Amino acid sequence: MPANTSINIAVLTGQTQHHVIALPAHCHHKQSKLIHQQVLPAFEQLQARAKLAGFNLDVVSSFRSFEQQLSIWNNKFNGLRPILDHNSQPLDTAILSEEQKVFAILRWSMLPGASRHHWGTEIDVCDYSALPKGYQLQLIPQEYDAGGYLAALSTWLDNNIADSGFYRPYRQDLGGVSREPWHLSYLPIAAAKQQAYTLALLTDTISNANIQGKAAILANIEQIYTQFISNVSTPN
């Protein structure tokens, strides 16, 4: 296999960090976040424009490795982290089958190896200064919708991100991943990554992973690919 092919697969599945660099550290995080090196200038431009409009465009999450995503998945599957329903309320996982649990987790958390966050092109944003003192950000749509603490930021993002090359892949609920108004994607790079991410690659990645619910995932892999991975909003 040519070297560049293996590098691409490693990037697509979060098993390398050679494509990402550190964002300037923020006081809300002890460690800096990582972002695709070609995305950094565009994001810093967007941050500067937000600042002029009176917003702090803070990074909640950006690049996540395969291992980080695997930990999130396994913790949810094992009941160490809550699994939320369509209304952002915790589900009683004791009454769910393995298959039901898999599809419930996928509403809010992607399979390791299949997260767009592996690419370094995806950034979850908020404005911490808009939150009341002591409030813990939950990253749920209600915070960004009308009446929410981050509604003004969300409206500004609606009108301004495209000029810097970004769009929101989960701006609508298409029956796959839940609506994520905080999730920005850098289109010039992410579009090619999405096109390169195949069902065969997903199947191979999960087959080789130490993941909880593997049998249920593989039994439903085609539906998962269609419903949750290739099913994203198109740019405006």
DSSP 118-179: GGT-EEEEE-GGGSPTTPPP---HHHHSTTSTTHHHHHHHHHHGGGGTEE-TTSS--SSSPP
Instruction: Identify whether residues 78 and 31 lie together within a single domain.
Output: no
What per-residue confidence (pLDDT) applies to 2?
41
Range of the domain at 84: 66-114+198-230
Task: State pTM to two decimals.
Answer: 0.93
Instruction: Identify whether residues 171 and 204 lie together within a single domain.
Output: no
Instruction: Identify whether residues 59 and 146 lie together within a single domain.
Output: yes
Quickly list DSSP for 65-97: -HHHHHHHHHHHHTTSS--B-TTSPBP-GGG--
Instruction: Identify whether residues 151 and 108 lie together within a single domain.
Output: no
What per-residue confidence (pLDDT) applies to 63?
98
Instruction: Identify whether residues 24 and 49 lie together within a single domain.
Output: yes
Domain count, the chain: 2
Residue 203: name the closest of 139, 111, 127 by CA.
111
Instruction: Tell me the pLDDT tens digit for each residue of 109-168.
Output: 999 999 999 999 999 999 999 999 999 999 999 999 999 999 999 999 999 999 999 999
Question: In this structure, is residue 81 part of a structural domain?
Answer: yes
Instruction: Identify whether residues 57 and 143 lie together within a single domain.
Output: yes
Instruction: Identify whether residues 92 and 2 lie together within a single domain.
Output: no
Instruction: Tell me the pLDDT tens digit for each residue of 16-48.
Output: 999 999 998 765 656 789 999 999 999 999 999
Residue 14 has pLDDT above 80, yes or no: yes
Instruction: Tell me the pLDDT tens digit for each residue of 83-100.
Output: 988 888 999 988 999 999
Matching residue, tokens 């500067």:
48
Instruction: Identify whether residues 151 and 89 lie together within a single domain.
Output: no
Share of the chain above pLDDT 90, in %: 88
Question: In this structure, is residue 123 part of a structural domain?
Answer: yes
Instruction: Identify whether residues 46 and 87 lie together within a single domain.
Output: no
Question: In this structure, is residue 129 part of a structural domain?
Answer: yes
Cβ neighbours, 10 Å, residue 153:
26
Residue 10 has pLDDT above 90, yes or no: yes
Instruction: Identify whether residues 99 and 179 lie together within a single domain.
Output: no
CA distance 107 to 96: 15
Instruction: Identify whether residues 86 and 175 lie together within a single domain.
Output: no
Instruction: Identify whether residues 204 and 224 lie together within a single domain.
Output: yes
